[in-house]
Amino acid sequence: MIIGDHRQIVIPDLGAIRSSSARLRGLRLIHTHLDGERLTGDDLTDLALLRLDMVSAIEVGENGLPGMMHSAHLIPENPGGDYWLLMEPAYVSETDLNFLAFIQALDEQFARRQGVRKVDSTERAILIRVEIDPLFDSEGSIAELKELARSTGVAVFDSIIQHRHQYDPRYLMGKGKLSDIVIRALQIGANLLIFDHELSPAQVRSIADFTELKVIDRSQLILDIFARRAHSREGKIQVELAQLQYLLPRLATKNTAMSRLTGGIGGTGPGETKLEINRRRVRERIGRLERELKSIQKGRSQRRRLRQKKALPVISIIGYTNTGKSTLLNTLTRSSVLTENLLFATLDPKSSRLRFPREREAIITDTVGFIRNLPRELAAAFRATLEELDEADLLLHVIDVSNPGFEEQILAVERILEDLDLNRKKCIRVFNKVDIFPDSGVLDNLCRRFDAIPISALNPETLHPLLERLESSLYRCRQDHNALPGSNPDITKH
């Protein structure tokens, strides 16, 4: 029972009230309207955000007796895209609705509609992008977010793009739209919102509090993928470092939404117990991990120097994630690096020996894939891994030409190379996956325009022109190299 005044009632935090159903809260709100109005926008927002079973407003007559009752309830997903149903107004005395039976039937309808989407995943997400740049390819960006989500095993139930002139500082989008999303989540049974943005800790908190849904941003999604893929000690440290750096500003205040905030997907976040340790402990751990990482990386660079003494030229495969880099390494060297139609299948660098037709050899390495707007924390943690690319004699840029966004991907990769000061290194472009490119005429043009060699990494027979080009440019560039002091002339003896 809540007592308000003639203007408003204030509903307390209902977070602790959980009904047996995950859908409706098991609470109905019956309140009086003194000015004879029907249900207001605020009433309907409360209905939605609080997942109330029903909201009713009873008019109060001059004599203080109850007048008409206006009621509304949420409705399951429907072709009209409606969120609620306004019931026929009626006098309280004439209402003979068996409420419990009614609401149970409604709850079952929700369950049935939700059940239409059969998934194994416990994480069922709505993807959200708020677009302020009318020229930006927001569809492409959401498509990539979908792939990222799929790579963590999250089921994507819906994706929503909202165009706005500017971001709302608190919620990114308008409150009205966010309320709609809450109802949509209820209708389709989603329990997670993934934003195609980097959200500030305060934004995540406000949105999570407002929607009572778990909220994740693009950075956290990518961190989650990395956490799943890290196998080597080095990779695991790099990822944990990035996770802790991401977490640090989010530990600033203790908040009830904390577990929703930082739990990560399926428990791959740093976990509840670790969250309780304070910021100082987090910083200490960061320091320790950084030291360990340094010593591992030192060991690796020593091993690399040994390898260089053998003076084999090094080719490094680079490119956007999921373009077929590992597949190419496997086909070229008959190795078996894990390849998968998932983003960031490879995290740990892998080297293998490549034998050219004329018996010359090279080392070819495969490394972590690139992505646009890599979270700052990950970029920092993986910087050393990427800086090793500096020791390559030649970069092999693999591009998935079958991806409609491949030009954007080329730009993203080249921007990262520039950041790493690698943009002057010799680089050969290949267009991969030509087997699924629809039009060979268009492909020929593209190859000319981008000076790229067409291949299908799955099919060794398509790789001859690439091998020729690799061998000739390596050989040439090694000869250039041999003019420099310290380089080993052995390689040119063949």
Q: List interacting residues with ligand GTP (CB under 6 A).
A: 319, 321-327, 339-341, 343-346, 369, 432-433, 435-436, 456-458
344 interacts with, out of Mg ion, ligand GTP, none, CB within 5 to 8 A per kind? ligand GTP
341 interacts with, out of ligand GTP, Mg ion, none, CB within 5 to 8 A per kind? ligand GTP
456 interacts with, out of Mg ion, ligand GTP, none, CB within 5 to 8 A per kind? ligand GTP
Q: How far is the CB of 461 from Mg ion (least distance, A)?
A: 22
Q: Smaller CB distance to ligand GTP: residue 126 or 342?
A: 342
Q: How far is the CB of 434 from Mg ion (least distance, A)?
A: 19
Q: Smaller CB distance to ligand GTP: residue 110 or 344?
A: 344
Q: Smaller CB distance to ligand GTP: residue 126 or 463?
A: 463
435 interacts with, out of ligand GTP, Mg ion, none, CB within 5 to 8 A per kind? ligand GTP
Q: Maximum distance among all alpha carbons in the chain?
A: 108
458 interacts with, out of Mg ion, ligand GTP, none, CB within 5 to 8 A per kind? ligand GTP
Q: How far is the CB of 339 from Mg ion (least distance, A)?
A: 6
Q: What is the token pair recorded at 322? A: 């999921």
Asked whether the beta carbons of 239 and 199 are under 8 A apart, the reply is no
327 interacts with, out of Mg ion, ligand GTP, none, CB within 5 to 8 A per kind? ligand GTP
Q: How far is the CB of 5 from ligand GTP (least distance, A)?
A: 59
Q: How far is the CB of 425 from ligand GTP (least distance, A)?
A: 19
Q: Smaller CB distance to ligand GTP: residue 114 or 402?
A: 402
For ligand GTP, the nearest residue by Cβ is: 369
Q: How far is the CB of 422 from ligand GTP (least distance, A)?
A: 18
Binding mask 319-338 for Mg ion (x = CB under 5 A): ------xx------------
Count other Cβ atoms within 10 Å, centred on residue 341: 10
Q: What is the token pair recorded at 200? A: 């500030």
Q: How far is the CB of 113 from ligand GTP (least distance, A)?
A: 34
Binding-residue total with Mg ion (CB under 5 A): 4
For the segment 222-281, give every residue that binds Mg ion (CB under 5 A): none
Task: Rule CB under 5 A: choose which of 179, 187, 243, 346 binds Mg ion.
Answer: 346
Nearest to 359 by CA among 475, 466, 267: 475
Is 432 among the residues that bind Mg ion (CB under 5 A)? no
Which of these segments, 46-54, 341-349, 352-360, 473-481, binds Mg ion (CB under 5 A)?
341-349
Q: Smaller CB distance to ligand GTP: residue 151 or 211?
A: 151
Cβ contacts of 249 within 8 Å, gap of 6 or more: 201
Q: How far is the CB of 451 from ligand GTP (least distance, A)?
A: 19
Region for 266 from its dihedrals, namely left if φ exceeds 0, alpha if ψ lies in -120 to 50, beta otherwise: left
Q: Smaller CB distance to ligand GTP: residue 160 or 458?
A: 458
Task: Rule CB under 5 A: choose which of 204, 345, 394, 417 binds Mg ion.
Answer: 345
Q: How far is the CB of 341 from ligand GTP (least distance, A)?
A: 3
Nearest to 210 by CA among 239, 233, 176: 176
Asked whether the beta carbons of 431 and 453 are under 8 A apart, the reply is yes
Which residues form the interface with Mg ion (CB under 5 A)? 325-326, 345-346
